[in-house]
């Protein structure tokens, strides 16, 4: 392991990626797990706590306002760094403001602050991802992805487990949020140290152009729908395996919460960091396709470790080994997946395109939870973890089908334009966006009815489920068209 890791050296760019990765990961737990723990301690009802999880939808739908950040530049610090500074300063103030609220008496204000933090954090991610795409060369993307994951995971540990421990033992909840606001200043330091791209590109000339051109550029490429499904399915098996891992180790195997917290969180974090760093280093020598394939197979096989725990007598050492192997391979897969997203972005529209692609990659992670619980009830833990191995296969098959496009991306900065079935592709693309907008409308209706204390509207659930069905069906049609186009070319 030491030989490829020599590629990860201490430098200014390394420090910037670590600090900005840390700044990207810190707010997430403060509006999710840590906030849920605080509300639970303050005896807020479970329905309200569950509804607060919708705050995280900002990270999924950030592509909606990404075009504005592609089109407009602030009059200081450059096209990307100016937006980063503004987002980070606002985050410092908002996180500190959360520390002034009491969940039992100021629930509405807390909800508004959580929504605002999630929005600003997602906006920061838009610009950070665009900056990485603009600045890093093809050879540096693996390293950049690995360092980002390292900083992100450290921040998740700090704002998650460490924050809970500090709040419970020493500072209390209010002071802990003040401390987290102070730590966000590390992101400001990273932004000040960052450099704008050496060869700046011309931004879109209008907001209309900033919305239309990135989508037109992406959806007019050869094998676009294969790439979309690859992004969604590549880490699907890994997402299923991790969705209920804590419940599996406690309820399924009978380990204590303390043992699981120590092993699954601490050892799992270390394994993810090692996997990301090692995977990023290997990607400097390997092609993108080879890295994705090797790490994808490793992700699938690593789920076998959890399955073995269900059929063999479990001990602390076997549980620790399974957690380490699964998170190690998952970390390598994450580094390759982030590099894939960067490689698919045109530098002129990197903010919008990366936001859209990362939203697609998050779909599996966000929405597998309810399905995972249902599968466990139906198949029990052994059947479920056997299924997680099979769930990795579609991603690998799609990767193999997209091999020629990925090799072209490695060899050239240009993308092959699509030339066949223009009418069918146009209808498919429009159907996909109609379905997406319907689902977003349903979620917004659910949010406003809750905030305004209105009765639930069945229409909202119909919009969400109907929109998702339309989006899925049109995506499958697009994949079929891509396959037919390949056969025609052959």
Average pLDDT value for residue range 324-344: 89
- DSSP letters for 93-129: HHHHHHTT--TTT-HHHHHHHHHHHHHHHHHHHHHHH
pLDDT above 70 as % of the chain: 91
Q: Does the structure show a pLDDT above 60 at 321? A: yes
pLDDT reported for residue 4: 47
Instruction: Compute the C-alpha angle 402/226/490, nearest 5°.
Output: 55
- The DSSP bridge partners found for residue 417 are 221
pLDDT of residue 10: 61
Least confident of 26-30, 260-264, 383-387, 431-435: 260-264
pTM for the model stands at 0.77
Residue recorded with tokens 């602050």: 113
- Which of helix, strand or coil describes residue 421? coil
**pLDDT tens digits for 414-458?**
677 887 888 888 899 889 889 888 888 887 787 777 767 778 778
Mean pLDDT of 352-374: 76
Contact 120, 91 (CB under 8 A): yes
Q: 249: which 2 tokens?
A: 């180790």
Mean pLDDT for the chain overall = 83
Q: Which of 112-116, 204-208, 281-285, 486-490 has the lowest mean pLDDT?
A: 486-490
Do residues 343 and 409 make contact, with C-beta atoms less than 8 angstroms apart? Answer: yes
Would you list the DSSP string of 155-203?
HHHIIIIIHHHHIIIIIHHHHHHHHHHHHTHHHHHHHHH----SS--PP
pLDDT of 33 > 50? The answer is yes
Q: What tens digit of pLDDT does each residue of 166-199 get?
A: 887 888 889 999 999 999 999 999 999 988 776 6
Q: Rounded distance, CA 254 to CA 121, Å?
A: 37
> What is the predicted pLDDT for the residue at 283?
86
Residue with tokens 């709040």: 167
* Per-residue pLDDT at 391 exceeds 60: yes
pLDDT of residue 24 exceeding 60? yes
**Residue 128 in tokens:** 């950070």
Which of these, 340, 347, 337, lies nearest to 135 by C-alpha position?
Answer: 347
Please name the residues in contact with 349: beta carbons below 8 A apart, sequence gap of 6 or more: 70, 204, 210, 213, 214, 217
The set of residues, in sequence order, having a beta carbon less than 8 Å from that of 385 and lying 6+ positions away, is: 241, 303, 306, 307, 310
Q: What is the average per-residue pLDDT within 92-110? A: 89
Q: CA dist 118 to 20, 115, 344, 356, 483, Å?
A: 16, 5, 26, 17, 38
């Amino acid at each position: 392991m030491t030989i490829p890791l020599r590629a990860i050296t201490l430098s200014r760019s390394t420090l910037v990626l670590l600090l900005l990765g840390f700044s990207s990961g810190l707010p997430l737990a403060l509006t999710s797990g840590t906030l849920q723990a605080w509300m639970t301690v303050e005896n807020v009802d479970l329905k309200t706590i569950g509804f607060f999880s919708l705050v995280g939808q900002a990270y999924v739908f950030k592509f909606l306002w990404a075009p504005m950040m592609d089109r407009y530049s602030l009059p200081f610090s450059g096209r990307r760094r100016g937006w980063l500074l503004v987002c980070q300063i606002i985050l410092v103030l908002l996180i500190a403001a959360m520390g002034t609220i009491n969940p039992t008496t100021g629930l509405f204000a807390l909800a508004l602050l959580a929504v605002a933090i999630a929005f600003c954090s997602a906006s920061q991610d838009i610009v950070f991802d665009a900056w990485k795409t603009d600045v890093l060369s093809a050879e540096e993307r693996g390293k950049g992805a690995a360092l980002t994951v390292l900083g992100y995971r450290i921040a998740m540990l700090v704002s998650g487990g460490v924050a809970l421990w500090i709040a419970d033992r020493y500072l209390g909840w209010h002071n802990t949020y003040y401390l987290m606001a102070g730590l966000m200043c590390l992101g400001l330091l990273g932004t000040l140290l960052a450099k704008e791209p050496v060869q700046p590109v011309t931004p879109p000339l209008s907001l209309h152009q900033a919305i239309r051109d990135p989508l037109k550029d992406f959806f007019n490429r050869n094998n676009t729908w294969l790439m979309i499904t690859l992004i969604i399915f590549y880490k699907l098996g890994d997402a299923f395996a991790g969705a209920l891992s804590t419940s599996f180790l406690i309820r399924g195997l009978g380990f204590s919460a303390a043992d699981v917290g120590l092993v699954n969180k601490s050892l799992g974090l270390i394994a993810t960091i090692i996997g990301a760093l090692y995977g990023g280093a290997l990607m400097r020598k390997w092609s993108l396709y080879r890295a994705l394939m090797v790490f994808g197979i490793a992700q699938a096989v690593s789920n076998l470790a959890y399955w073995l725990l269900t059929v063999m007598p479990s001990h602390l050492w076997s549980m620790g080994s399974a957690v380490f192997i699964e998170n190690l391979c998952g970390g390598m897969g994450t580094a390759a997946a982030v590099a894939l997203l960067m490689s698919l972005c045109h530098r002129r529209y990197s903010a919008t395109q990366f936001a859209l692609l990362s939203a697609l990659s998050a779909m599996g992670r966000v929405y597998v939870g309810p399905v995972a619980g249902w599968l466990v009830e139906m198949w029990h833990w052994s059947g479920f973890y056997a299924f997680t191995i099979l769930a990795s296969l579609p991603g690998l098959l799609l990767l193999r089908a997209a091999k020629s496009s990925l090799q072209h991306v490695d060899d050239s900065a240009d993308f092959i334009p699509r030339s066949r079935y223009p009418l069918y592709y146009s209808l498919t693309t429009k159907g996909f966006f109609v379905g997406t907008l319907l689902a977003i409308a349903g979620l917004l209706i659910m949010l406003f009815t809750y905030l305004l204390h209105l009765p639930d509207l069945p229409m909202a659930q119909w919009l969400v489920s109907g929109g998702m069905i339309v989006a899925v069906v049109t995506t499958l049609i697009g994949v079929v068209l891509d396959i037919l186009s390949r056969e025609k070319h052959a």
